[in-house]
Structure 1
C-alpha cells in the first residue's frame, strides 16, 4: 500500500497534543556537554546573568561550584534559594528545596547537575523529577547535563570509557526540552583545563587524563554529544511540520521490535533498540 502521509495536510493529533501539553508549563533549557569541565555551569550562570540584566526574576535553586573561583564569582549577585537539610544515617546532606522555590515563584531558576540522585527520603529520587515538578508550575528552568548521563547512551559510554555511569536521565528529558545548547570544547582545550587545575585538584588531574579524560575518549564523547543534539533538531523539525500540517518527506515506515525474556542483558537490548530507532527515526516496541 502506498504511503500517502505526505499528501495529508491535517495537523497530527499527537503533535497538537504535545503542543497543548506545553502550554502553561515552564520552558526547559539544557546546557549539554561531552564531559565534566567543558563549562556547562559557567555558561548557565552567564546566560542567567543576561536574563537578570533584562529584568527577569532569576534565582539559583542549586549550583555546584566545586570550589572553582570563576564559578564562585559568577554566583555573586544572584538570589540563592537555601538548600534543604536532610539527615541520612547521621550525615547532613544538602538538597534543592522545591517547596521554597515554588513559594518564591521566580520566572527562572538555575538547577545544576540534572542527573543528580537525591538523598533518601526526598520527595523525588532524582533531580530531573524535581525539575519536572517545577516546570509544571510555570517556572522556567536552566539546567546542566553531560552526555554520559543520557540513558540510551549508557552502554556506548561504558564501552568507550570503561566506566559504567549509574546516574542517568531518560532521553525524554532531552526530547521534551525547549532548548538544548551544546557546550563544546575541543579535547586539547579540556585537557589543558585539567592540567591547569580548573576541573579537578592537581593531584588527581593527571590520573583523570590518563583514564576517563584521554584524548580518544573525549573525541568519542564529543561526537556523541554533537550527534545527539543534531538528532534532537531533526525531531523538533518533524514535530513542527506535523503540528502545522506542513507536507514533506516522511520516514519510509521502518519499525524496531526488541524481544525480551528472562535472560540477563534485557536493559542493554532496550537501550540499543532505542538508539537504533532514533537513528532510523522509527517507532519502536518492546515485546516480553
Structure 2
C-alpha cells in the first residue's frame, strides 16, 4: 500500500497571512515577467506573442511601451494591437519617447505591455524608475506584462559585474521580481544567441562588434544563462514550499532531487561537504548545508566554532545554500528542515 501523507495541522499564522495575501492580490493587477539571460533571447517577442493571444481571447490589451531595437520580427507583432502614444520629451537637445503613465491610467485596460522593467525614467518623471510606474499600474488593478534580464536583478548586480566586467546601472529590486505572479523564462543557448547577434537581429550593425568583444563573450553568456536558470528554479522552489506549508504537507515530494548535508565541528565535515557537492553535481540537484546548534554545542571552544563557520563558508563557495539553526535536538531539527525544504537525499 502507498504510504499515507503525514497529516499535520496547518500553521494558523501562515494560513491567515495567506488569506490576507490572497485578498490583497485580488485587488491588485497581476504582474508577469518575461525573463532572460541577456538581450536578444526573445523576451519582447514572447511577451508580444502572449499579449496577442490574450487579445484573441477577448482581453482588453494595450501596448504601453516596447523597445524594438530595430528588430523587424518584433515590430511585426505590434500590428493589430492598440498602442499608446509615447510621451515626447527633449533632454539636452535629444528627442526622447517615454512611456506615458498617466495616459495608461486613464485608458485603464485589463492588460498593458510595458517593456524593460529596469529602465530609468527621464528627469522630472513622477517615478525615477519604470518598475515604480508598473507598481502604480498594478495598484490600479491593471495587469502588466514586462521584461527583465538577469543582470538587472539587484542582488546579482555585483556577481554580474564580476563575471562580465560590466557594471549594470539599471536594476530592479529583488522584492519586485519575487512578488511577480508569473515569471516565464525565455531561454536561448549561447551559440544561437551569438548567431542572432552576428546576423544583426539583436543590435544594429555598428554595435555588434563591441558587443561580441565585451558583454556577449560566450563564457559570459554561459554564466548568465546559469544564473537565469537558477533564479527561475529558486522561484519555483519557493512556490512549492509555500504551497506545501499552506496545505500542511509534511511528506517529501519527488519533484526533483535536493541534497542535504549536516555539518558540525568535526574535521570530517569538510569531506562530507565535498562529497555532497559531488553527489549534487552528479544528480543535477540543488544542495544545502546545515549546522544545528544545541544547548550543549553553545559551549564549544572557539577553535571548534571557527571550524563550523569555515565549513559553512566552504559549502557556500561550492554552491550550497547554507543555514544555521538552533534546537534542542539535532535529529528532530534536521528532519523538520529536510521536510520543509523537500530534501530527497
Q: What is the TM-score when the length of structure 1 is the normalising length?
A: 0.82
Structure number with the bigger relative contact order (C-alpha 8 A, sep ≥ 6) is 1
1:7 Cα offset (Å): 4.8
DSSP-derived class of the 2:77 partner: helix
Work out the CA distance in 1 between the residues paired with 2:200 and 2:236.
Answer: 35
1:23 Cα offset (Å): 1.7
Q: Does the 8 Å contact 1:60/1:110 carry over to 2?
A: yes
Match of 1:129 among 119, 122, 132: 132
1:51-70 equivalences under 5 Å are: 51-70=54-73
**Matching residue of 2:162:** 159
1:157-236 equivalences under 5 Å are: 157-236=160-239
Rg comparison, structure with higher value: 2
Work out the CA distance in 1 between the residues paired with 2:183 and 2:246.
Answer: 20
DSSP-derived class of the 1:169 partner: coil
**Matching residue of 1:269:** none
Are positions 1:9 and 2:10 aligned together?
Answer: yes
1:37-186 equivalences under 5 Å are: 37-186=40-189
Work out the CA distance in 1 between the residues paired with 2:238 and 2:204.
Answer: 40
Distance 1:144 1:170, change over 3 A: same
Work out the CA distance in 1 between the residues paired with 2:52 and 2:149.
Answer: 22
1:97 Cα offset (Å): 1.2
Distance 1:214 1:138, change over 3 A: same
Distance 1:100 1:123, change over 3 A: same
**Further displaced range: 29-38 or 235-244:** 235-244
Are positions 1:22 and 2:17 aligned together?
Answer: no
Work out the CA distance in 1 between the residues paired with 2:139 and 2:148.
Answer: 20
Work out the CA distance in 2 between the residues paired with 1:139 and 1:237.
Answer: 26
1:213 Cα offset (Å): 0.6
Q: Does the 8 Å contact 1:59/1:79 carry over to 2?
A: yes
**Further displaced range: 29-38 or 76-85:** 76-85
DSSP-derived class of the 1:75 partner: coil
Q: CA RMSD in A?
A: 2.5
1:180 Cα offset (Å): 0.3
1:280 Cα offset (Å): 4.5
Give unmatched runs, 5+ long, in structure 2.
1-6, 253-287, 293-315, 326-345
Q: Deviations over 1:91-117 (max 9, x none)?
A: 442221111111111110001000000
Q: Does the 8 Å contact 2:118/2:152 carry over to 1?
A: yes
Q: Deviations over 1:35-54 (max 9, x none)?
A: 00001000000111111111
Provide the aligned length of Structure 1 versus Structure 2: 257
Q: Does the 8 Å contact 2:117/2:131 carry over to 1?
A: yes
Give unmatched runs, 5+ long, in structure 1.
1-5, 255-274, 284-288
Distance 1:279 1:20, change over 3 A: farther
